[in-house]
Amino acid sequence: MMADQQPPLSAQDHEPIRRATTASMQNLLAQYFEAQAEDVVPANDPAPLEPVRHALSVTDETPKLRPEDAIAASFARLEAALHTEPPVVPEVEPVQTEWPVSAQALIESLMMENERLREQLHQRSLELQSAQDQADSDVLTPTLNRRAFLQEVHRAMADCKRYGEEACLIYLDMDSFKAINDAYGHGAGDAALIYVAETLKTSVREGDAVARIGGDEFAILLRRADLKSSRVKAMKLEAELMMGTFAYNGLYLKTGGSFGVRAYAGQTTAEAWLSEADAAMFLVKKSAR
């Protein structure tokens, strides 16, 4: 044995050292990790580890007294952390949550202009719809005009061809219209036209169409209606007009009409179909004279 060599420690002597070392290392490691987490200890300062290093060097002399694996692993991680520079985290500019005053004013101005244009577009749409309604309506009575009615007839013909539906036209020529005009003036004639138009309008279903074709002549489009039911409808309308009256300047006046009915039978145009209904009305009017 060399003169400067210390005698080996017995197992009995090592046990207190092992216990003290283990407890000391656990305490030191816990304190160091806590200090580092709070940025109290700089990451590159090895001084706090010296007691731990010393404890390890003592216990390493006897393998069976070596500290527990968990403590050794913790020490290794801690030592590696001390010699590792922390990653550089780039500074991130804070997200701008508010627009500059000039930009905010521009945005508000654009939003107001967008709302104004939206309202203007809505009003324009209403005006166009109103203009379309006026273009389709008779100037005096609450019915369609001839042009709009023929468009409805054309659509009905297309449905008949495509779906095999039935449809009929009723043509009406007012009686005594000229006599009313001559006796009571054009105001009375207008009242008679309005009365007939309103009577026809209230008698048809939704989807049917009523129009003033010109002068004192009207037409009705009955969709999904056969010839028999359409003739019954015409007779009822004729009776209703004959029994009814309309008021004008305190007077109650009467009017009537002659009706002709024509079913769709493959006519090539709306005008042709309407002309056939007109011809049927003329035959009825002629036979009644």
- pLDDT tens profile 138-190: 999 999 999 999 999 999 999 999 999 999 999 999 999 999 999 999 999 99
* CA dihedral (23, 35, 37, 83) positive or negative: negative
- pLDDT tens profile 242-273: 999 999 999 999 999 999 999 999 999 999 99
Instruction: Name the strand (E) or helix (H) holding 218.
Output: strand 217-223
Cα gap 211→201, rounded to integer Å: 9
Could you tell me the pTM of the whole model?
0.58
**How sure is the predictor about 10, in pLDDT bands with cuts at 50, 70 and 90?**
low
Q: How many CB atoms lie within 10 A of CB 8?
A: 11
Query: Is 74 a residue whose pLDDT tops 90?
Result: no
User: Which residues, including other chains, have CB under 8 Å from residue 173's CB and lie 6 or more apart?
Assistant: 216, 217, 257, 258, 281, 282, 285
CB 211 within 8 A of CB 167: no
One-letter amino acid of 132:
Q
Mean pLDDT of 32-51: 58
Look at 42 and 108; give whichever has higher pLDDT. Answer: 108
- pLDDT tens profile 218-233: 999 999 999 999 999 9
CB 272 within 8 A of CB 150: no
Query: Is 275 a residue whose pLDDT tops 50?
Result: yes
**How sure is the predictor about 106, in pLDDT bands with cuts at 50, 70 and 90?**
confident
Q: Give the DSSP letter of residue 250.
A: T
Instruction: Identify the three-state secondary structure at position 243.
Output: helix
Mean pLDDT of 19-33: 63
User: Which residues, including other chains, have CB under 8 Å from residue 256's CB and lie 6 or more apart?
Assistant: 174, 175, 176, 238, 241, 242
**How sure is the predictor about 3, in pLDDT bands with cuts at 50, 70 and 90?**
very low
Cα gap 169→262, rounded to integer Å: 5
Q: Pick the closest to residue 227 from 272, 277, 268, 269 (CA basis).
A: 277
Residue for token pair 């002659």 = 258
Look at 171 and 53; give whichever has higher pLDDT. Answer: 171
Query: Is 239 a residue whose pLDDT tops 90?
Result: yes
Mean pLDDT of 280-285: 94
Look at 108 and 217; give whichever has higher pLDDT. Answer: 217
* CA dihedral (90, 95, 101, 103) positive or negative: positive
Say what percent of the chain tops pLDDT 90.
51
Look at 105 and 51; give whichever has higher pLDDT. Answer: 105
Cα gap 284→264, rounded to integer Å: 19
Mean pLDDT of 273-281: 98
Look at 244 and 13; give whichever has higher pLDDT. Answer: 244
Average model confidence (pLDDT) across the chain = 80
